[in-house]
Amino acid sequence: MLQLQVVRDKKDDIINALKKRNIDAAPLIDEVLELDEKRRSTQTALDNTLAESNKLSKEIGILFKTGKAQEANALKEKTGTLKEDSKKLGEELNTIAEELQRALYQIPNVPHESVPSGNTDEDNEEVFKEGEIPVLNTDALPHWELAKKYDIIDFELGVKIAGAGFPVYKGKGARLQRALISYFLDKNTEAGYTEMQVPHLVNEASGFGTGQLPDKEGQMYHVGEDDLYLIPTAEVPVTNLFRGEIVAESDFPICYTAYTPCFRREAGSYGAHVRGLNRLHQFDKVEIVRVENPANSYHALDGMVEHVKNILRELKLPYRILRLCGGDLGFTSALTYDFEVFSTAQDRWLEISSVSNFETYQANRLKLRYKDENGKSQLAHTLNGSSLALPRVLAGILENYQTPDGIQIPEVLVPYCGFDRID
């Protein structure tokens, strides 16, 4: 969330910047500042009441010692009233603080100055494109038909077990899925990311820490009896490893990678554009997460973009990179680049990765700080990216590498698969 002091000092700048998100933030900012003023005045009243109570308590002790019990007892009645007042003020202060926190949670991150204005994904800015789009036979099939033809993914069996959006990978399909996971993890660790294995369920504090709560609560699967959430991405547990921590400046950059299944309700997602692997309730993803010195975070973001580029080059998939406009930007992100692979059989671009800089937005929620060279605590910057999400990468491979006689396997994956084609 935004730092309260920053909201105080840069109210007009924040309101103007959030217009890129098509948000009139003025009423919410005013509410935050009014609650903050109320909180501070209530805190002052509480401090004064406690100070007066402490002063009278000392006077009462002196009066008793000097034999002035009647005067001491008279003051005790007054201290009793002060204690009641301080209790009420303390309760009021807690209520105001909770309201202030809720109001701050509703303000999205301020977009970076490079974020273009816009309302929808049609306003996103293409900043890079690479790779040749293959020319397929006229009888080329979309991946859901290829999966059925070669018996490598069973969508109907997934419906039987769990429901729509839970595919079952079979034979070479399962092996190709496992190969992609291993390949992505190897590429990430070679680039300096430490591999982590993390829980697939998180508590409420973790959801708030990275911004999934309260913004995306309806999109997460909730285990009510234990009050836990199935993770929508490894970003949540990995970033929360640092919740409440103070790291040394010399530790930067902190780079982690993790493979996890991801769970998303995807409420309201219907239509042909979500067929097959295009949108799932459960899918596999390899994530990269960085904790950075603020002075280096945008250089780090550029490095993450180049890293994902290199993976797609090795897979020889045609792709493009979009800088997301304000209206399409995630709630917690300051700047996001989306990677999309072209699906020749579907004749459309499929998003396969988002690489984002959250600046201090998550760190402020997480209370993630570092000591600067002067020994002062500062908020770190957090970044994350998909490297990569498997379903649409797999869809792109199946569709773009299909031939009349089968599906070729990208050369870089053959050592991981143990086979070079599906037929």
- H or E, element range at 218: none
Beta-bridged to residue 126, according to DSSP, are: 322
Q: Would you say 392 is a known binding-site residue? A: no
Beta-bridged to residue 403, according to DSSP, are: 406
**Strand pairing of 282-292 and 254-263?**
antiparallel
Q: Would you say 233 is a known binding-site residue? A: yes
- Residue 61 near residue 98 (C-beta atoms within 8 A): no
| Amino acid (1-letter code) at residue 33 | L
Q: Would you say 14 is a known binding-site residue? A: no
Q: Would you say 269 is a known binding-site residue? A: no
CB atoms closer than 10 angstroms to residue 43: 15
Q: Would you say 351 is a known binding-site residue? A: yes
> What is the maximal distance between C-alpha atoms in the chain?
106
Q: Would you say 353 is a known binding-site residue? A: yes
Secondary structure (3-state) at 227:
coil
Q: Would you say 48 is a known binding-site residue? A: no
The answer for residues whose C-beta is within 8 angstroms of residue 11's C-beta and 6 or more apart is 29, 33
Tokens 């379903």 sit on residue: 391
The answer for residues whose C-beta is within 8 angstroms of residue 284's C-beta and 6 or more apart is 177, 181, 259, 260, 261, 262, 389, 390, 391
**Strand pairing of 194-196 and 377-379?**
unpaired
CA atoms within 13 A on the CB side of 352: 28
Q: Would you say 384 is a known binding-site residue? A: yes
Both tokens of residue 97?
Answer: 């603080």
Q: Would you say 264 is a known binding-site residue? A: yes
The whole-angstrom separation of Cα 23 and Cα 16 is 9
Q: Indicate the burial class of 255 (C-beta count within 10 angstroms; 0-12, 13-18, 19 or more).
A: buried
Q: Would you say 107 is a known binding-site residue? A: no
Binding site per annotation, positions for ATP: 264-266, 351-354
Binding site per annotation, positions for L-serine: 233, 264, 287, 384
Binding site per annotation, positions: 233, 264-266, 287, 351-354, 384
